Amino acid sequence: MHAIVPPYLLARVAASAQYPKAAEAARATLAVPRGFHPVRSRLVLSIDETGALVAETAPSPDRTISDAQNTETLPGLTVRTEDAPATGDEAADQAFDGLGATFAFWWDAYRRNSVDAAGEALLATVHYGTDYDNAFWNGERMVFGDGDGEVFTGFTGSLTVIAHELAHAVTEHTAALVYSGQSGALNESVSDVFGALVEQHSLGQTADAASWLIGVGIFTEAVQGVALRSMKAPGTAYDDDVLGRDPQPAHVDDYVDTIDDNGGVHINSGIPNHAFYLAATALGGRAWERAGLVWYRTLTGGTLSSTATFAQFAQATVEAAAAEFGESSVEADAVATAWRQVGVLAAEGPTA
């Protein structure tokens, strides 16, 4: 049961006297239980090196958007399917486009056909609940609330939110990282990594040009903050009188030991998040091509434990980089150096 807004943040809103509507919405959001629950193709035309026109088939997304009509009943009323025109409902059309951009990323970057690599349909429900302050993946579909309007806006306008939640499905189908403690923080971090990469792919951005922010646009203008999380500078995404200060650490020395939030999965994900940012920016260029590929190979390699610690995951990424690019490659060095910079690998720690 993976949601974009962590429970500690909703708890701060729920206790707010400044935003009574948002407080009520946050309390209701925390109280809602979240159940866990044929391949299409398209024609692609290209020009080869001889100048000849080449036609080939590539997978195409199979999207269905439903409207819960402010109830908490899933899936809701179907409002848009693949090949259908825009509905005019902003949330429904943003969800449709976000699912499409995410599908395009996984295929273009890694030739992965949907979240399960076998053309799984992408399902989403919008307008879930009344003033519902979250978006989540329930094992079957994306679900989006509209926000309370005081602290949170709607969640479909942020591509990183959509891509983050769908990346949980990719993790389920690959490394199946247990959602608790360090493996749970890695699960969250992997979703942030690919959430950021989907946005960068969609915008055609290089690592240096990207914001590395997760959830831009989901706060109202009343909130002193730019996003839910920053991979570039964990702990700086917001600093607000009601929400408090972003609690994410960027270094293992500041790891938060807690029993809340499945052992701090949303807080401690800042450490591996920052390691990826450091590796990606050290390598430069389009982050999904080298650093992202290493993380993808780590997820899909079949050797990563589902209860992996930060150190085990770090070593697995170093080995994946060495296997993909060579033991003495700049990629393997950048990945190992990044993990040392956040304290997960020792200064003379494991290498490929």
Query: What is the pLDDT confidence band of residue 39, given thresholds at 50, 70 and 90?
Result: very low
Q: What pLDDT digit, counting tens, does each position of 132-158 carry?
A: 999 999 989 999 999 999 999 999 999
* The pLDDT of residue 185 is above 80: yes
pLDDT for the residue numbered 50: 73
* The pLDDT of residue 318 is above 60: yes
CA distance 85 to 88: 9
Q: What domains appear along the chain, each with residue ranges and CATH number?
A: 2-341 (1.10.390.10)
Point out the residues that are catalytic: 165, 266
Average pLDDT over every residue of 35-53: 56
Looking at 2-11, 42-51, 201-210, 212-221, which range is the least confident one? 42-51
With a pLDDT cut of 90, the percent of the chain lying above it is 80
Query: What is the pLDDT confidence band of residue 38, given thresholds at 50, 70 and 90?
Result: very low
pLDDT for the residue numbered 263: 96
Query: What is the pLDDT confidence band of residue 57, given thresholds at 50, 70 and 90?
Result: low
Instruction: Print the SS3 string covering the chain.
Output: CEECCCHHHHHHHHCCCCCHHHHHHHHHHHHCCCCCCCCEEEEEEEECCCCCEEEEEEEECCEEEEECCCCCCCCCEEEEECCCCCCCCHHHHHHHHHHHHHHHHHHHHHCCCCCCCCCCCEEEEECCCCCCCCEEECCCCEEECCCCCCCECCCCCCHHHHHHHHHHHHHHHCCCCCCCHHHHHHHHHHHHHHHHHHHHHHHCCCCCCCCCEECCCCECCCCCECCCEECCCCCCCEEECCCEECCCCCCHHHCCCCCCHHHHHHHHCHHHHHHHHHHHHHHCCCCCCCHHHHHHHHHHCCCCCCCCCHHHHHHHHHHHHHHHHCCCCHHHHHHHHHHHHCCCCCCCCCCC
Q: Determine contact, residues 147/131, Cβ cutoff 8 Å.
A: yes
CA distance 6 to 237: 14
pLDDT for the residue numbered 59: 83
Q: What pLDDT digit, counting tens, does each position of 85-117 carry?
A: 999 999 999 999 999 999 999 999 999 999 999
Average pLDDT over every residue of 167-196: 97
> How many Cβ atoms sit within 10 Å of the Cβ of residue 261?
20
Answering whether pTM is above 0.75, one says yes
Average pLDDT over every residue of 1-27: 79
